[in-house]
Amino acid sequence: MRTIYDTEFRPYGKAIAGYDTAPLVTALRNNTPRPLDHTVYVPSDAALEALPLAKQLADNVFGGMPMQMGYCNGSNRKLNCLEYHRCSEVNIPCEDIVLLVAPLQKVQDGKLSTGEVEAFLAPGGAMVLLYETTLHYAPCNGPANDAFQVAVALLSGTNTQKPEIQPQTQEDRLLWARNKWLIAHPQSDEARQGAFIGLEGENITLAN
C-alpha cells in the first residue's frame, strides 16, 4: 500500500518531520480509550493540549492560531463518509493507520464517486498534515491492527456544535458541525441521522 511519504500523497497533504511525538503517543496509549467495535471522537482533550507538542503545533504548524487537540480512537474499516474543514488537520497515530482521502475539487453539487477515493498508510508515531482541500474521515485500522488511537489537531471549535443557519447554497446543506462539512454514503449511520447523502458507489471496506 502507498504511504504518506509517496509522491501520490502530495495533493492531499504531507508528513511533518522534526517533532518528538513519543510523549504524545504515550499519553494517548495510557490515558484514552481504545474500543474494538466502534470509534470515539473527542475534539479537545485538556491532557493532550497541556503537552509541549500541542503548543509547538499551535505556534509553528497553525501559525499561532488557537488550536484544539483531541483524539479519534477505535476500530473502523469502512469509508462511510467524507468531511472537510476550512483549515488543515494534523493526525498523529499511535499505530499504523490507513487514511481514505479524496480531492474536494472533485465534488459537484455535493456528490462524489467513491472511485475517487485513495488509501494511504500513515505509520505509528508519524505526524501527517491533511490540507483543507482533502476530503477525509475516521481513520481505518492498519494492517494487522485491531484498533487505533490517533491525536487530531484542528483550529479551536472545529467539530463542535453546529451553528444554526438558514441554508443559502447547496454547500450549506453539507454543514454537519462547526467547521465541518460532511458527505455521507447511503449505508452509513450518519445518513440515517440526516446527513447529506452524496457519496455514490461502493462504501469502501478494507480487508481484515
Query: CA end-to-end span of the chain, whole Å?
Result: 14
Q: Could you report the per-residue pLDDT of 117-147, keeping only the tens digit for each?
A: 999 999 999 999 999 999 999 999 999 899 9
Q: What percent of the chain has pLDDT over 90?
A: 99
Q: What type of residue sits at position 34?
A: R
- Average pLDDT of span 71-89: 98
Distance (Å, rounded) from C-alpha 96 to C-alpha 121? 7
* Model confidence pLDDT, tens digit, residues 152-167: 999 999 999 999 999 9
Q: Which three cell numbers mark 175? A: 454543514
The Cα 17–Cα 30 span in angstroms is 24
Do residues 152 and 71 lie in contact, with contact meaning Cβ atoms separated by under 8 Å?
yes
Residue 208 has pLDDT above 90, yes or no: no
11/119 Cα distance (integer angstroms): 13
Average pLDDT of span 96-103: 98
Position 46 pLDDT exceeds 90: yes
pTM exceeding 0.95: yes
What does CATH list as the number for 7-78+87-159?
A: 2.60.120
Q: Across the chain, what does the average pLDDT equal?
A: 98
Q: What are phi and psi of 169, to 5 degrees?
A: -135, 170
Does residue 145 contact residue 96 with C-beta atoms inside 8 Å?
A: yes
Judge whether 180 and 160 are in contact, CB under 8 Å: no
Please tell me the number of Cα atoms within 13 Å of 66 on its side-chain side.
4
Give the domain ranges of the chain: 7-78+87-159
pLDDT confidence band for 101 (50 / 70 / 90): very high
Q: Calculate what percentage of the chain has a pLDDT beyond 70.
A: 100
The answer to whether 177 touches 164, Cβ cutoff 8 Å, is no
* Nearest residue to 41 via CA among 128, 149, 132: 149
Rg (CA), the chain: 16
**Number of neighbouring beta carbons within 10 Å of residue 199:** 29
C-alpha cell at 132: 483543507
